[in-house]
């Protein structure tokens, strides 16, 4: 597929993240209105809520875009998703006969504030990147025992907090927690000293399910993808994770990019998962290319200073696809709901510059990074801004997600001191 031309001129640049080929979904507001649904096209946003109200978009008997989130569309399923995409193409394509009606509904992205694009029902985070799991396991158990016995057979995950999922641009507060001190018998309650990021992709469930579903059915049920930063307090995690895994270390915040890139926009970039060391059981076997070729990067910028790109990798490094993660999630009969968010797990590649967390990049603090400013980092310091980016490069066009950014604020004074 090559670039699809739009009458919105800015959408036709080869390196612009929002061409007609993309059409990602978000929620925005301006000074003169409440949050409403919108579609990115070039440097503009098409006000979908108003377009529906004016009769330019009619998909069902009841309105789908009168609320400030995309869940009502998501639960309609693939046929309605495809109908909306086709209608948007007809409205925004070069030569559209309805340009005169659509053009007044465009809002400059520079004038808009972005909000969470969907209501998050529940959030599950996985540990499904082979290189990340190998690196972390090697740090703490040695290379011979890096992967637990089950890792090559199932996508390991844990249930996180939907309540702390935030949109890009939201500041993150350094958390307090219980830390183990190597010099004392008792732990201490202190601000986290090893606060970190995890470079991930998030898959969004559109069609709900009851009972177990296949990998193909799971893929069909996925509505789209966002960039995801699973902020992590490594020192809190080290003390709390046995025997039941992460808890408060992962509850501070999870940032997502503001635009949902639909599965349809990513179809040209499908690719296979890596070769298997052990054959998966039948209910988890690959049924076609289930990953995507998406370039990813992480930039760190100290307060008031330019940023340094500290990692570059690709979503194709995942060992398990989002469809396999979703299918595995349902094996117990667990219902999945519209708006469920699945974090991929940290995406790292085989070399040091491809590592998707500071824990790996600094090798647990033993090998601090040197930024372009000359400063060093083992973990995030107050005032640092972390930005995740992602793009799939096509024939003369780019599919982007919008940045996933957060700035770390200093910890509160003792939160229990009244």
CA angle 334, 161, 386 (to 5 degrees): 130
pLDDT of residue 418: 67
Q: Concatenated DSSP letters for 339-388?
A: T-EEE------SSGGG--SHHHHTTTTTS-EE-TTS-EESSPPTT-EEEE
List per-block mean pLDDT (blocks of 10 residues) for the chain, which spans 418 residues: 96 98 98 94 98 97 97 98 98 98 98 98 97 94 93 96 98 95 82 97 98 98 98 94 90 98 98 93 96 98 98 98 98 97 98 98 97 98 98 98 98 86
The residues spanned by each domain of the chain are 9-115, 123-409
pLDDT of residue 27: 98
Place domain 9-115 in its CATH homologous superfamily.
Fumarylacetoacetase, N-terminal domain (2.30.30.230)
pLDDT of residue 314: 98
pLDDT of residue 180: 87
pLDDT of residue 33: 85
Topology agreement, domain 9-115 and domain 123-409:
no
pLDDT of residue 19: 98
Confirm whether pTM is higher than 0.95: yes
CB 375 within 8 A of CB 382: no
**Encoding tokens for residue 355?**
């590592």
pLDDT of residue 339: 98
Query: What is the rounded CA–CA span in Å between residue 23 and residue 38?
Result: 10
CATH number (3.40.630.40, 1.10.8.60, 3.90.850.10, 3.30.200.20) of 123-409 reads 3.90.850.10
pLDDT of residue 185: 79
List, by residue number, the catalytic residues. 132
């Amino acid at each position: 597929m090559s670039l699809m031309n739009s009458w919105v001129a800015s959408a036709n640049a080869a390196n612009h993240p929002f061409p007609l080929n993309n059409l990602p979904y978000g929620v925005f507001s301006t000074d003169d209105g409440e949050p409403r649904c919108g579609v990115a096209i070039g440097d503009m946003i098409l006000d979908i809520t108003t377009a529906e109200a004016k009769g330019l978009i009619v998909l069902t008997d009841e309105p789908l875009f009168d609320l400030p989130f995309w869940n009502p569309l998501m639960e309609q399923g693939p046929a309605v998703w495809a109908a909306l995409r086709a209608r948007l193409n007809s409205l925004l394509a070069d030569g559209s006969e309805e340009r005169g009606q659509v053009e007044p509904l465009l809002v400059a992205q520079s004038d808009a504030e972005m909000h969470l694009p969907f209501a998050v029902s529940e959030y599950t985070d996985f540990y499904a990147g082979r290189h990340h799991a190998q690196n972390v396991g090697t740090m703490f158990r040695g290379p011979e025992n890096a992967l637990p016995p089950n890792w090559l057979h199932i996508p390991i995950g844990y249930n996180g907090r939907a309540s702390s999922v935030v949109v890009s641009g939201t500041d993150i507060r350094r958390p307090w927690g219980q830390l183990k001190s190597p010099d004392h018998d008792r732990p201490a309650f202190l601000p986290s000293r090893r606060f970190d990021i995890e470079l991930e992709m998030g898959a969004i469930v559109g069609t709900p399910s009851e009972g177990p579903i296949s990998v193909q059915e799971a893929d069909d049920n996925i509505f789209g993808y966002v960039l995801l930063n699973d902020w992590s307090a490594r020192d809190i995690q080290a003390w709390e994770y046995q025997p039941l895994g992460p808890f408060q270390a992962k509850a501070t915040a999870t940032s997502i990019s503001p635009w949902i890139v639909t599965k349809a926009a990513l179809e040209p970039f499908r690719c296979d998962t890596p070769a298997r060391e052990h054959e998966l059981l039948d209910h988890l076997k690959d049924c076609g290319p289930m990953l995507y070729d998406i370039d990813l990067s992480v930039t760190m910028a100290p307060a008031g200073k330019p940023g340094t790109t500290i990692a570059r990798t690709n979503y194709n490094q995942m060992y398990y696809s989002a469809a396999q993660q979703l299918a595995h999630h349902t094996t117990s009969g667990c219902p999945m709901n519209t708006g469920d968010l699945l974090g991929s797990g940290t995406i790292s590649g085989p070399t040091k510059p491809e590592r998707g967390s500071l824990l790996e990049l600094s090798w647990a603090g033993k090998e601090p990074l040197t930024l372009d400013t000359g400063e060093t980092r083992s973990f995030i310091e107050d005032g640092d801004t972390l930005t995740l980016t992602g793009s799939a490069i096509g024939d003369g066009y780019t599919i982007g997600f919008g940045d996933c950014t957060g700035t770390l604020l200093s910890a509160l004074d003792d939160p229990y001191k009244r």
